[in-house]
Amino acid sequence: MKSKIPEVLGSIIGSKCFTAETAAGGTLVLGFEKVGNAGCCGSSHWRFQTETCSWRIMYNDKILCGSGDEEIHIEGFLQKLIGEKLISIERISPFDIVFIFMGGMEIQLLSQSKGRDCFNILSPEESCITFSPAGGWFE
């Protein structure tokens, strides 16, 4: 199992979130700016999307909202992520990941199925990085 964060994700650190929304079934979708040579190849941003995991937004060890909440409750907290700089991606258990933002907000991604992908990240160069609790990180 690959437990270290893939090297390619190092270039998402320092990126600002420019879009945060939910889609069908509580799917969380985030867009992050590309740091550095914007537009050199592929897309100009990173795209993050949950697959089969639950998620929650935390601040000061308190749950602000999560994937099971009503969209009207979630929207305001998603808007607070806009403009926030991603400072770290960490594995908090063999199955779960946390995205940490400069302002103190966190998104915890909680795996629900051993055999299915938790989430994926599409890089500006259009490579897909996936996290699965069964096997860790895949590129």
Give pLDDT tens digits for 76-111: 999 999 999 999 999 898 889 999 999 999 999 999
Share of the chain above pLDDT 70, in %: 91
47 within domain boundaries: yes
Is position 15 within any domain?
Answer: yes
Tell whether 107 is covered by a domain.
yes
Residue 66 in domain: yes
**pLDDT on residue 26:** 86
In a domain, 37, yes or no: yes
- Residue 51 belongs to a domain: yes
Predicted confidence (pLDDT) at residue 8 exceeds the cutoff of 70: yes
* pLDDT given for residue 115 in this prediction: 77
Which pLDDT belongs to residue 2?
Answer: 46
Q: What is the number of domains present in the chain?
A: 1
Looking at the domain assignment, is residue 126 inside a domain? yes
Structural domain including 58 reads: 7-138
Q: Does the pLDDT of residue 42 top 80, yes or no?
A: no
Query: Would the CA dihedral through 50, 71, 112, 116 be positive or negative?
Result: negative
**DSSP summary character for residue 39:** T
Confidence category of residue 118, pLDDT binned at 50, 70, 90 = confident
Residue 39 has pLDDT above 80, yes or no: no
Can you give the pTM of this predicted structure? 0.87
pLDDT at 43: 59
> 51 in helix, strand or coil?
coil
* Distance between CA atoms of residues 74 and 69, nearest Å: 7
